[in-house]
Structure 1
Amino acid sequence: MDQAALSDKSVLETLLKTNRPPTDQETAIIRESMAPTNAKLKDVEAQISETMAHIQELKSQVEQAETKLQRLREEEAAILETFADHRRIFSPFRNIPEDVLREICIQACMGRDIPALSYFRDPLPYVLAQICSGIRYIALTTPIIWASMHVEIRTFPFGNLRAYEKAYSAVARRASAWFDRAGGLSLTVSIEDYRDSYPKFGGFRCDPSTILFDTLLSYSTRWKELIFNSRCGDMLSAMSVRLHI
């Protein structure tokens, strides 16, 4: 059988049905049939290599661009920093009239709940006073902000009477400064006692919160409204005695 009478398909099918090696003629036929596919494969592989090289080149360009972008951002930040003071001068906040700022402070403190006096955190009026010198002046010179106070009495995480007394003394001083800033306005005092009983020290129950209560009571002639809630019956009785009820 000559080579022309054999097709690459028939040769391949015949060989796949046996385990014998191909003859020289069969090998030549199969290699000849593979030539166009091999040429196409080499062309595809060349395109793959070219594409991968292009991707690497793009990656390098991206890295260079990112490095340039980072440098430009740093330069931009440095330039903007030189204008920081200028931008503050032109801030719209500077043009807000003082009476408007004062009303904003009032609404912030009095818009919903009564400002709360606390040992562990700054009450809202004090937070306002920390914003800037201008707002501090407005907050400290607006009596109505300081004419209402909510006091929460809770058990402190202290293990001795001295620490309790120190804490209540600090709160009492803050309460006194608070009401002094109210000028001659009538005062609203809300007291919420969350304790079930007096704390116990050395086997005896005592109430160091009287330090704070005595300070609040010293302003009783100016009270417009007193709201007092307590879970502790003894506390209600003690408060009644102090108020001569």
Structure 2
Amino acid sequence: MDSGVELKKFGLPSQCCECGPQKSPALCSAIFATSICPNCFGMSVTPGTRYHTLLNTNEPPDESELTFVRSVASTVDASLEYLDHEIANLPENVKRLEEKRASLLSYRVRNNAILSPLRRIPPELLREIFSWTMPSLEGTAEVALCIEQTPWMLTQISRRWRVVTFSTPSLWSQIFIDYRHSHINRDPSTYSPSLMKAQLDCAQKLKIHFYGSQGIDLRPQIDMFKLLSQHSSRWEELSVELTAEMVPILMTLRDRIPSLRRLWIQWSTVEDQTGVHSIDCFQTASSLVDVGIFNDYRFVPVLLPVHQLTRYDMDCQLEEHIRILKQTPNIIEARIDIAFDEEVGSDSLETVDLLGLRRLYISPAGVLKYFKVPALEELALDIYGEDILSLVRSLLDRSSCSL
């Protein structure tokens, strides 16, 4: 009997219900070794047919029906064996599918990366973005010369980023060397001379922040400061904590710092100041306009081009402040901290006219009486019990200014 006729006789569909109308029982037989799709068993048997009756009652089959029923049983057994085999191999199949999926995901990421806007950002915009990734000097212990820090890190992302980074001198201008922190004490090689030389080659102008320490080996510090001093003609900023061994190197910089605009000096210990009578290497710095000198232990004179200063920050005797400020016609901002005096001021001191001064910090407030500031806009005072209102009122009347 034709298989299609036989299926209809027993109430089974002539097409596979699971595989779809496009496929036939003959196609299923290639998979299940039978002419009947096992997916159809028990699901698509037509009610009222002979096979439906046999499935749902205890009625015995005719002799002529046994062959078909046995063939169905054989097909089901083959299907069960196939499913058992698939279940047994499920972990391996899952692994294979997961690997295939991971490969496709990787390909999708690589393909989508081609469309990334980052690839189309102009170099000048990349440079601006890179500049905002530079570490802040406020977290001094975290700003170290190492390959994991910006800008070195930027050179490791892609060839294009590397080209942009190395061709942007401003990213390399900030140099921070601090030997005072504990991680340097544990590992003095943190600051690699070879990395420093590479950074110096990439930079154009240099902003040097160098803090020495007597607490660790001085030789690496001296070698590093000497290396930086070889490029002093490109210094725009110098912030330095001096040790006694660094002073002779500093003194060789006279006439070698034409670009220096900002200067900050402090001392590591009181012993470092011993034997130092003055520092005169900055007197010929033709671009210097912003100076800060912190004399915590003892006043050491620093000769400066005071006539060109616009910002001034110093701890010293009042007489020294007045001597310097009398020669600063361009001063806009001043921090005047009186130090090393038991009694501040003298009736013999003259009043200083600071005609262009706009911002003033002064300590103690009592020395306000020695200054006249007609252009003053901002005032900060350190108060030690003085009659602050009368001091300020007197300053305003004398200067004819309005804060």
- TM normalised by structure 1 equals 0.54
Alignment of 1:49-68 (within 5 A): none
In the alignment, is the contact (CA less than 8 A) between 2:175 and 2:208 conserved in 1?
yes
2:129 matched residue in structure 1? 104
2:200 matched residue in structure 1? 179
1:197 matched residue in structure 2? 215
Cα distance in 2 for partners of 1:88, 1:146 equals 29
In the alignment, is the contact (CA less than 8 A) between 1:189 and 1:226 conserved in 2?
yes
In the alignment, is the contact (CA less than 8 A) between 1:191 and 1:228 conserved in 2?
yes
2:170 counterpart of 1:144: yes
2:246 counterpart of 1:239: yes
In the alignment, is the contact (CA less than 8 A) between 1:116 and 1:124 conserved in 2?
no
What whole-Å deviation, never above 9, does each CA across 1:35-90 have from its counterpart, x for those lacking one?
xxxxxxxxxxxxxxxxxxxxxxxxxxxx99x9787775544323223434322212
Letter in 2 for 1:173: S
Letter in 2 for 1:177: A
Identical residues among aligned pairs (%): 25
1:211 matched residue in structure 2? 223
In the alignment, is the contact (CA less than 8 A) between 2:222 and 2:246 conserved in 1?
no
What whole-Å deviation, never above 9, does each CA across 1:102-152 have from its counterpart, x for those lacking one?
111111116x33894436x53311011111111111111101111111112
Cα distance in 2 for partners of 1:182, 1:85 equals 34
In the alignment, is the contact (CA less than 8 A) between 1:198 and 1:207 conserved in 2?
no
What whole-Å deviation, never above 9, does each CA across 1:169-200 have from its counterpart, x for those lacking one?
x72232222122113x3x2100123x44343x
Letter in 1 for 2:230: S
Cα distance in 1 for partners of 2:122, 2:179 equals 39
Cα distance in 1 for partners of 2:128, 2:200 equals 19
In the alignment, is the contact (CA less than 8 A) between 2:145 and 2:195 conserved in 1?
no
- TM normalised by structure 2 equals 0.34
Structure 1 unmatched ranges of 5 or more: 1-62, 159-163, 200-205
**Greater helix proportion:** 1
Cα distance in 2 for partners of 1:75, 1:212 equals 54
Letter in 1 for 2:208: V
1:131 matched residue in structure 2? 157
Alignment of 1:17-56 (within 5 A): none
1:34 matched residue in structure 2? none
Structure 2 unmatched ranges of 5 or more: 1-86, 252-278, 280-403
1:25 matched residue in structure 2? none
2:107 counterpart of 1:95: no
In the alignment, is the contact (CA less than 8 A) between 1:102 and 1:139 conserved in 2?
yes
| More relative contact order, 1 or 2 (CA 8 Å, 6+ apart) | 1
